[in-house]
Amino acid sequence: MKHLFLACMLLGTSVAHAYNQQALMEAYFGVVMIRGYNLDGGMAYGSGVVVADNSVVTNCHVLRATKQPWISRGEDSYPITEVRADAWHDLCLVTTHNMPFKPVPRGSSLSLARGQEITAIGHSNGVPAPITSVGEIQGLYPTQPGNMIRSSAKFLMGASGSGLFDMEGKLVGINTFKTAGNGGSIHFALPVEWLETLAKMPASTEFPVHGKALWEEDEDKKPFYMRAAVPESRQDWAALQKVSSLWTQQEPASADAWFSLGLAQLSLKQLDSAASAFDQATRLDPQFIEAWFRRGEVAQQLGDQQTVQKIETRLQQIDPLLVSVYQAYLGCDKHCPK
């Protein structure tokens, strides 16, 4: 719960920057529904993003159970005539005709930064109008070309294939998979750069679309950031510590790996070890705000007020607005004890 509290407080202060309202509105109207009848007669639905004239990108897993999918907005529908599928990367480019919707502009997942504000726009739970969810970038993982994106911008069932946009309304990712657990869901988006390869795939008129996606790989074959997400969301701290220890050994230059290890150790009350892990995370990424907050939490539990104050000074240098959030996070009244 404290993890969620911190994310909400950060989002309400330093990371909430100016945004382009007109551009985000245009992005909103670039998101559509993908619908179709399942083989058993039920309705399948997902989301998609208009990326070219009469072309929409969605997740291939949205198209696994229907032979005749279509694109819809409100009462209007547009039959899907062909698909270019990259099942492993879970991206499908579908084509229709006479669709009047404008393509959204594309950004770059490589230009994103941890803590940057973003918004997810999709048809969660099959509602006819898109739902927006504002969040921040929590992690960026190189997956050539581009970065896999972990964000706090929520999406629900039916939003698979929806768009993740920067605050200038540019498409940076496709919301695809998430974990679930007592600690809250962790959301991942595929990099927009993968669309370049997708457009070169051969066209097909065969539905449903079949094939396993990378996020469905056996657990021990997934990249560490995926393997760590499941125990983190389930608050299985012993399992997270095990995975994160391997992660730091295999990728010692990853700030995310050290943060994940520190989070597990903090939750297991291994405070000295957690302090070392968070120290390493902030050395590797001095702008890793949550790692600084967690390091301050460890220091407070250890009675190390000198370190608590040093971190407050460091946050003041990064962004003065963070100081009050840090103090509230630690439960301090006005100022942490000196």
Task: Using the predicted structure, report yes or no on whether residue 280 has a pLDDT greater than 60.
Answer: yes
Q: How far is Cα of residue 205 from the mean position of the Cα atoms in its chain?
A: 31
Distance CA 48, CA 46 (A): 7
Band of residue 63 on the pLDDT scale cut at 50, 70, 90: very high
- pLDDT for position 26: 94
Mean pLDDT of the chain: 91
- pLDDT for position 6: 54
Stretch 283-297: mean pLDDT, rounded?
A: 97
Closest Cα partner for 19 from 128, 192, 136? 136
Band of residue 54 on the pLDDT scale cut at 50, 70, 90: very high
- pLDDT for position 14: 42
Sheet with 31-37, side-by-side order of all strands: 76-79, 70-73, 31-37, 43-52, 55-58, 91-95, 82-86, 203-204
Stretch 141-168: mean pLDDT, rounded?
A: 93
Residue 104, helix vs strand vs coil: coil
Distance CA 275, CA 306 (A): 14
CB 92 within 8 A of CB 85: yes
The per-residue pLDDT for range 8-45, each reduced to its tens digit, is 445 444 444 567 899 999 999 999 999 999 878 888 88
> E strand or H helix at 8, and its extent?
helix 2-11
Q: What is the pTM of this model?
A: 0.91
User: Among the listed ranges 1-10, 92-101, 123-132, which one has the minimum average pLDDT value?
Assistant: 1-10
Residue 134, helix vs strand vs coil: strand
Alpha carbons within 13 angstroms on the beta-carbon side of residue 90 total 23
Packing angle of the helix pair 289-302, 2-11 (nearest 10 deg) = 130
- pLDDT for position 336: 60
The amino acid at 323: V
DSSP 12-77: TTTT-----HHHHHHHHTTEEEEEEEBTTSPEEEEEEEEEETTEEEE-GGGGSSBSS-EEEETTEE
Task: Using the predicted structure, report yes or no on whether residue 162 has a pLDDT greater than 60.
Answer: yes
Closest Cα partner for 290 from 7, 1, 12? 7
What Rg, from alpha-carbon coordinates, does the chain have? 21
CB 189 within 8 A of CB 173: yes
Distance CA 336, CA 332 (A): 5
